[in-house]
Amino acid sequence: MTKAATPSRHSGIVAAVRGVRAAWRQSLQLRVVSTTLLFSVMVVGLLGALLLARVSAGVVDAKERASVTEGEAGHAEAQGILDAADTGATTPSATQLVDAVATSLAGRAGNSGLYEVLLLSTGPRTGAEAPERGTNLVAESSVPNDLRQQVVAERRIAWTYTELRYLDGRVVPGLAVGSTLSVPGVGLYELYQLFPLTQEQATLDLVRRVLGVIALLLIVGLVALAWLVTRQVVTPVRQAAQTADRLSSGHLQERMTVRGEDDLARLARSFNAMAAGLQEQIRRLESLSRFQQRFVSDVSHELRTPLTTIRMAADVLYEDRDTFDAATSRTAELLQTQLDRFEALLTDLLEISRFDAGAVALDVEPIDLRLLCRRAIEAAQPLADKRSTEIVFEEPESPCVAEADPRRVERIVRNLLVNAIEHGQSRPVTISMAASEHAAAIVVRDHGVGLRPGDASLVFNRFWRADPSRARTLGGTGLGLAISLEDAHLHGGWLEAWGVAGDGSQFRLTLPRIAGTELTSSPVPLEPADGSTRVPLPTRTAPRPSSVPAEPSAQDDAAHAGVAEPVGESRA
């Protein structure tokens, strides 16, 4: 299809999507496992995120408090140093003061690098008059501008998270606590204590890693669990499905294995009980059917042998009837004609019994339906001549080949033709055919008495007559159309009838062109093209015989063309 036509990447994707969708629809296990995967990822993710948030909040809060406290303490100490210096008679130089503060704070921070210190002048910086200090090469850019503005504007201790930048290029996450100092003789200074969060970062990283591993293990565990659990349930179910498949394909011995006492074991036991019941039923039916087939076959043989003798004897008498007296001669004639009738009836009865006993087999081969129709027309010609009916064959130019049983299909067509001739009131009978890719149809149309409303569904019934009060006129057995319908069904085909009283009828036989395929439509409509152009009759309001499977004109015996010659039979 499209895939073959355009073997592009696009179609590859489409095929893959289709495959996944098919797998999704077909595998309960896949659905359960993927659902479990999805939900466990969501839940574990959510829990992990919450946990991580709590842990980092805890860790960072503690650090915050400690840092701010330390910041306040540092600020107090620095301001203390400055205040102390201010009270003296001699005011030390700004450089001395700033160095003293920086040294002192650096001492508080210790060598462990608890925090870094930055002393920045807020006022105009004029070289030695307002020296700035920092510890351990920490860069001024470590302090965000926002914080500086806040500290200067509000003159109080403020803090924020930042990144500590060192002049040697290192960058670590950290926390900046800022405050202002007034340095005598110089003016306003800003003091920043920068606390690196290296330790906390490491802790959180560890927690994150651990959480990740746990989450992964949890998800894998849950998915594996789901897989195992569904497997326990799905495996017996699949086995049941498989067993049912094999049962339905005729392996009646097939059973499920029963293990344990649980629900699944009960399922298996019930299943097996059902299978045993079915097997028993089928066996009974089979033996019944065999018996019936055997019986039909025997009856057939037992009846036919003496009938053959009678038939031949009657024929010899009939041939010599001229030499008999009038009464005996007429007797020989009656014997002959009624034997014909009896024989046709017996043949049809035996044929339909074979259908009932299921003793029929389809013998398909590819056949050109045109040849087959020609043969059927040839067979029906004597009757047509007798009834002064013209048979018009609208023969297509090209072969119309279908896989079918030629004898059966020919018998159907012959029955339809005979039926049409018998009820066609000597008007022409048309036979035509059409084919589509999957189906072939043969249509027989007559313009005779037609079908009364409602009769369309009855014409295929055995021994059905449209008008029971009317006597059987021609030699129909009343089984011809019933046999034809059985033959059509045997092919997986349709035999349908359309008819309007006074407007004739049309029969359509539709056959699959490949044996065994299912019919979905017929290449020709059931209702003839000329069907609706006819003068409306009073009965016309009545339903057009719906496309009930097979129904021909409802003539009394009419329907019974009675030509159902046994399929194996050939008459020279």
Report the interface residues with other proteins, using CB under 8 A.
297, 300-301, 304-313, 315-316, 320, 343, 354, 359-361, 363, 365-368, 371, 375, 378-379, 399, 401, 406-407, 410, 566-572
CB of 18 to other proteins, least distance (A): 36
Indicate the burial class of 424 (C-beta count within 10 angstroms; 0-12, 13-18, 19 or more): buried
DSSP string computed for 18-64:
HHHHHHHHH-HHHHHHHHHHHHHHHHHHHHHHHHHHHHHHHHHHHHH
Say which residue the tokens 């009656």 belong to.
334
How far apart, in Å, do the first and last CA atoms of the chain sit? 51
Contact criterion met (CB below 8 Å) for 191 and 132:
no
Write down the least CB distance from residue 345 to other proteins, Å: 12
Q: Which is nearer to other proteins, 317 or 421 (CB)?
A: 317
CA distance 172 to 165: 7
Give the nearer residue to other proteins in terms of CB position, either 146 or 569: 569
Q: Tokens standing for 76?
A: 């107090």
Nearer to other proteins, 344 or 421 (CB): 344
Distances (CA, A) of 288 to 284, 293, 350, 354: 6, 8, 17, 13
Unique residue bearing structure tokens 């746990």 = 214
Rounded least distance, CB 273 to other proteins, Å: 37
In the complex, minimum distance from the CB of residue 382 to other proteins, in angstroms, rounded to a whole number: 10
Tell me the closest approach of the beta carbon of residue 439 to other proteins, in angstroms. 16
| CB neighbours of residue 307 within 10 Å | 15
In terms of Cβ atoms closer than 10 Å to its own Cβ (0-12, 13-18, 19+), residue 435 is buried
Query: To the nearest whole angstrom, how small is the minimum distance from the Cβ of residue 300 to other proteins?
Result: 6
CA angle 487, 489, 492 (to 5 degrees): 120
Closest CB 301 distance from other proteins, rounded Å: 4
CA–CA dist 221, 230 (Å, integer): 14
Q: 489 or 544, CB closer to other proteins?
A: 489
Q: CA 159, 110, 198 angle in degrees (round to 5)?
A: 55
Rounded Cα distance between 443 and 369, Å, is 12
CB of residue 566 to other proteins, shortest distance in Å? 5
63 or 304: CB nearest other proteins: 304
Q: Which is nearer to other proteins, 413 or 559 (CB)?
A: 413
Q: Considering beta carbons, is residue 406 or 499 the nearer one to other proteins? A: 406
CA distance 30 to 28: 5
Q: Do 118 and 140 form a contact (C-beta atoms < 8 A)?
A: yes
Nearer to other proteins, 357 or 458 (CB): 357
Q: Which is nearer to other proteins, 172 or 401 (CB)?
A: 401
- Give whichever of 229 and 362 is closer to other proteins, judged by the CB atom: 362
Least distance in Å: CB of 534 to other proteins? 35
286 Cβ contact partners less than 8 Å away, ≥ 6 residues apart: none
Taking a C-beta distance cutoff of 8 angstroms, is the pair 194, 118 a contact?
yes
Instruction: Round to whole Å and give the CA distance between 261 and 263.
Output: 7
Sign of CA dihedral 452, 454, 460, 466: negative
- The token duo for 447 is 């313009």
Q: Are strands 429-435 and 391-394 parallel, antiparallel or unpaired?
A: parallel
Phi, psi of 393 (to 5 degrees): -105, 110
Residue with Cβ nearer other proteins (229 or 307):
307
What's the min distance (Å) between Cβ of 323 and other proteins?
A: 9
Nearer to other proteins, 33 or 367 (CB): 367
Q: How far is the CB of 315 from other proteins (least distance, A)?
A: 5
Q: How far is the CB of 249 from other proteins (least distance, A)?
A: 23
